[in-house]
Structure 1
Amino acid sequence: MDLTLRSYRPENLPEMIEIWNQVVEQGDSFPQDTPLDAASAQAFFAAQTDTVCALDEGGRVVGLYILHPNSEGRCGHVANCSYAVKADRRGQKIGRRLVEDSLKRAREAGFLRLQYNAVVVTNERAIALYEKLGFTCIGRVPKAFRARTGEYRDTYIFNRAL
C-alpha cells in the first residue's frame, strides 16, 4: 500500500477527528474518555511537537499520530506518542508505518528515547509491534486503565532508545 506520511494540515482535521474519536469511543486503549470536537481537536493537535497523518493513494487520512515530550524540563528529552488507525484500515501495517515514522521524527526533533506510559495489556497487536521494533517492556502498572466496560486493566510501560 502506498502511504504518504506528513504533518497534518487544517483541512485534515475532520478525518483526524473521526479516526481519533473511533479509538476514544472504543474505550480499550486511549486514556481519553471524551471525544474531540472541531475546536478541541485543533488546539490538541496543534499543541504537539508534531502531528502526522498517513494518507492513502486517494489523499484520505487513514491513520495519525501525535509526538510530544513525555515530561518536561530535565525529562523533556524522552518522547511519547499515541497512534490511531481508521477502524476499517486496521491490519494493513499502517500502524507499523506510523511507529517507524515517529521513531525517525522523534530522533530528528532531538529526543533520545521514546516511551509509551500506558499500553493496555489487552492491546496485543500494539505490544507485538512494539516488541518487533525493539521496544522493551520496563514495567507493569496494576489496574491503571479503566476500560469502557468499567473494568480495570493493567498497563505496560515500553521504552526504546532512538
Structure 2
Amino acid sequence: MNIIVRKYEEKYLEEMIKIWNEVVETGIAFPQMETLSLNSAKNFFDEQTYTAIAIDEEKSEVLGLYILHPNNVGRCGHICNSSYAVKKDCRGLHIGEKLVIDSLEQGKKYGFRIIRFNAVVASNIHARNLYERLGFKQLGVIPEGFLMKDGHYEDICPYYREL
C-alpha cells in the first residue's frame, strides 16, 4: 500500500462523499448534521482554502480526506481550522496522522500561523492522542458542547498548535 496525501480532484468526489458522510452519519465527531450530495460536495470542497485526499496510489482508492479553512476572519484570520475523515475500514493505518501532518504543512504554506480545532469530542481518544503526539495543546473543556447523535451532550476539548 502506497498512501500519499495530495490536493483533491473532482474525479474522486463520490469516494470523498462516502467517507465524509460516513462520519457525519455516525454523529460522534463532526458538527455537521447534513450529509453531502454530489452537487453540495463540489461546492463545499471547492470553498475550502485547501482540500486534500489520502489515496492508495496502487489501487487509486481514496482512504481519507481533510478540509482546511480560516477559523475566523479579520484580526483572527491567521488561525485556520481543519476537519479529517478516514474510511471506516482503514482506521488504524496512520492515515489520519498523514492527513494532519499534511494539513500543518498546507496551513503554513497558505499563510496561517496557528491551527485550532474547536470541537474535539472528549471521547474521541484516538484523535486526541494523535493531536497531542503532534504537539497540539488542549485549551480547556467546554462542558456538554457537542450534541451526540443519540441525543446526549458530551464535552468538547478545543486544541491548537502554532504553525
TM-score normalised over the length of structure 2 = 0.98
For the aligned residue pairs, the C-alpha RMSD in angstroms reads 0.7
- The answer on 1:14 being equivalent to 2:26 is no
**CA deviation profile, 1:75-100 (whole Å, cap 9, x unmatched):** 11001000000000001000000000
Aligned match of 2:116: 115
1:22-33 matches, within 5 Å, as: 22-33=22-33
- SS of residue matched to 2:123: coil
1:58-73 matches, within 5 Å, as: 58-73=59-74
Q: Give structure 2 stretches of 5+ with no counterpart.
A: none
User: Aligned AA for 2:90?
Assistant: R
Moved over 6 A (4+): none
Aligned match of 1:76: 77
CA distance in 1, matches of 2:42, 2:119: 24
User: Aligned AA for 1:15?
Assistant: E
CA distance in 2, matches of 1:118, 1:2: 31
- The answer on 1:149 being equivalent to 2:150 is yes
- The answer on 1:98 being equivalent to 2:74 is no
- SS of residue matched to 2:96: helix
Aligned match of 2:47: 47
TM-score normalised over the length of structure 1 = 0.98
CA distance in 2, matches of 1:101, 1:87: 20
CA distance in 2, matches of 1:39, 1:139: 37
User: Aligned AA for 1:54?
Assistant: A
Aligned match of 2:137: 136
- SS of residue matched to 2:141: strand
Q: 1:5: how far off?
A: 1.1
CA distance in 2, matches of 1:139, 1:79: 18
Q: Give structure 1 stretches of 5+ with no counterpart.
A: none
CA distance in 2, matches of 1:44, 1:138: 28
CA distance in 2, matches of 1:72, 1:132: 29
- SS of residue matched to 2:145: strand
Q: Percent identity?
A: 49
CA distance in 2, matches of 1:139, 1:51: 28
- SS of residue matched to 2:140: strand
User: Aligned AA for 1:142?
Assistant: P
Aligned match of 1:127: 128
User: Aligned AA for 1:122?
Assistant: S
